[in-house]
Each structure stands twice: as structure tokens, then as C-alpha cells.
Structure 1
């Protein structure tokens, strides 16, 4: 398998995650990105013994795009702290069914996960098990009955973008779990981790990385003009 490397130094490894590959091992026992990259580092650098690779954040299995791993424990600790302080900027591109009522907005919900069903639900702020979820979105373009959105995460809850956008009445294209009433079986979820920006945990300088979605439907509906929007980072 060819995993595109977006950036690598002694402290960081930023790659483009393939769609439908779990970030870490799950009950399916399918090959996961974390262990795949550890094996790759071991071979490329001929390292004896176990290879350290810190898992900093995750992407849902159906989602592709930019993801960062830490090659040292120091980098992992500092990146994890940045996540807690919300100073790692994560932008996604999303194709949704319908057109949001507002061109741009901040969405705030309280989410609770049903682990047995592996599904997340919105709930009231008073629910002791709930966690607050916050994101910003902006509509980049609309074609037919679908919209292209730029989404910036401020929290990292499971299935967050999928649940929050579905709650607005605009589920992600291809999302069976949260938009089964409008999506067909076999459609690939159209959510892509497009942009990462943060301060390098060791060099203390700003770094940014971006990844373009695949040239497949429904992304190809926006192959020209929309990609020049300021929120699409080249």
C-alpha cells in the first residue's frame, strides 16, 4: 500500500490517510494506519526492536486526508497538549445533502456515544455523560442538491462533524449511519481532512499541511471555481 507522506522530520510524520482504513486496530483486525506506519519506519530506517510512533489524533475509518503522528515522546506530549488547548487548526472539506440555512455558522451541540451501537447522539447540556462539541462551517459552493463546506473543528469528539451536520438537516454525502434516509448503500462518505496547522513541537515554528480530496464523485463536481475560495488552502 502506498501511503503518501506529506511531511517528515525527526519529530513528526504527516501522512495522507486512505479512506476506509482504521487509524488504529479495531475489532475487524484489518490493517491499521498506525501499525502500518510503524512497520514502514522500521524497514526504511532499519530500526531494531519496537518503533515509537505516537498517536496524536484520529480520523473516522471512512474519512481520508491529513493526519499527524509523533516520532518522539516529547513531540507526542507537546502535540497532545496543543490539542487540549485547541491550538491545532484542523479544517475539513465536506459534501452535504441540501443547503445549510446559513452560509457560515458556529455549531454547538452536546454529544453522547452509545458504544454498543457505535453511534453518537445529541443530548441536553445537563446530561452528565455528554461532551460539548463545537465546529465552524462555511458554504464554499452549491451545485444541485449538494453543498461543499469548509469545516473547522474546535473539539475532537467521535463522529462529531457527521453528527452535527446531520443535526442541521444536511447530512454528509454517503453517510449511512447519520443520513441513511438520503444516502444510498455503497456511497463513500464525502469528508476529507484537508488542512492542518500548528506550531512545530520542537522547532517552535508554524507548520501547515494540506491534502486534496480524490478526483472522484462527488468531489469532481467542484473541480474548478470552488477550489479557489479563500478557505480552500492550496
Structure 2
């Protein structure tokens, strides 16, 4: 993965209030610090908050969920320790609707379908394998997809997640012969130049855990020829 250093000058904030901040993650950014030592998106958001509100001392920011490093799209952070467990509860209870868009190599057998698998993660190669039946240490994974558009050489799919497993979309689509463009780990034949994959967290809907108002957020697509071809 090519190294991308985020900074607050190029941070794209999609939504912000006193409790929550939602940003558009670029390919290559990591949401939370890891063994690479690369600067995580969470630190960039903290710097943004510190500067914008002239906050002294350390800034609190809770990581609610993650996106894979080569994936793009919206990420939610909690701005207070009070709201973090409430957001966590929304995710655990499946009260957040998450919609992804993916560009895949082959046409799925059905125009729309639900995929149910049992995923088992291998920590050695950081990869999940999809099985049709439950195996030891596997977790049930459910997603729903539909074809949005046929491109010259690819297909644009819309995916709604019912569960949130490790590499779930990547693994389940690969399992039906539809690897995501650029995703070498899950069977695509070549990488994208920027080491991204064409998987984008596009849309999210939930009831605000404090304001109790419906929140609907969509994020712009990355700028490249393939995404541009989806909506010329």
C-alpha cells in the first residue's frame, strides 16, 4: 500500500456537530494507528478539532468503526466519551444502514441477491475466507447487493451490509467470482496504480444518538476514470 499522509488541510468533513464528526476517507489512509506507524486519520481529525475550536490540551476522539486501508468513503468518529458507547450500540444492534458501492470484474449470476457466508479470518495473511457452511472460528456474514450499472469492462454494485465482518464485502464478492477492481488479495488480476480498491463507503443512515433526529449522509466518489464512467 502506497503511503498517504493525511493532514487537516485536505480533510473532507461531511458532517459535524457537538457529538459526531463524519469524514471522507481517502485510499491509503488508516483510520486508527497500527504497526506501520503511519499517521492515522483519527490523529488528523483531532488536529482539525483542536485548531478549529482552539482547544487546549488533548482532544478526545472515539473510533466507532474502521474502513480497510485501500477503501474509500465515510467514517464516523465520536467527539465525546458520552456518545461513543451510544454509537457503538447502534452498530452492534444493526440500527445503522451502511451502503457501499463496488466496481467488480464479472457480472454476478443474479441482478440482485443476498449473500450468506461464514467468514474465517487468518491473522497471518490478514485475509478472510468465505465458507458456505459454518466452520470452526467462523462468523456469519450477510450482505445484500444489486447491480446498478454495466460499464464497458466492469459492473457497479450497490451493497448493503447486515453484518460487519473483517473484509466482508471483499471476501464475499470474491467468493461468487466478482473480485473488486484492484483487490489483488481477493482475486483481481492487477492492482490499481495508487494501491486503492474500487470499494467506497457511499451512504449511511441512522438516528442521532443524542438529538434523536434522522441523519442521512452521502459521500462523493473518488476522482478517477472508472468512477467517473459510472455517472458521466
Query: Does the residue aligned with 1:91 lie in a helix, a strand or coil?
Result: strand
Q: Which residue is 2:140 aligned to?
A: 132
Residue 18 of structure 2 corresponds to residue 47 of structure 1: no
Taking only aligned residues, the RMSD between alpha carbons, in angstroms, comes to 1.4
Whole-angstrom distance in 2 between the partners of 1:196 and 1:67: 10
5+ residue gaps, structure 1, are 225-234
Q: Which residue is 1:231 aligned to?
A: none
Aligned residues: 223
Q: Which residue is 1:76 aligned to?
A: 84
Q: Does the 8 Å CA contact 1:3/1:18 hold for their aligned counterparts?
A: no
Q: Which residue is 1:64 aligned to?
A: 72
Which whole-Å deviations, capped at 9, do the CAs of 1:86-115 have from their partners, x for residues lacking one? 010110110000111100011111111111
Counterparts in 2 of 1:22-171, with a 5 A limit?
22-123=30-131, 125-171=133-179
5+ residue gaps, structure 2, are 1-6
TM-score (norm 1): 0.91
Query: Does the residue aligned with 1:221 lie in a helix, a strand or coil?
Result: helix
Q: Does the 8 Å CA contact 2:116/2:132 hold for their aligned counterparts?
A: no
Query: Does the residue aligned with 2:229 lie in a helix, a strand or coil?
Result: helix
Q: Does the 8 Å CA contact 2:120/2:128 hold for their aligned counterparts?
A: yes
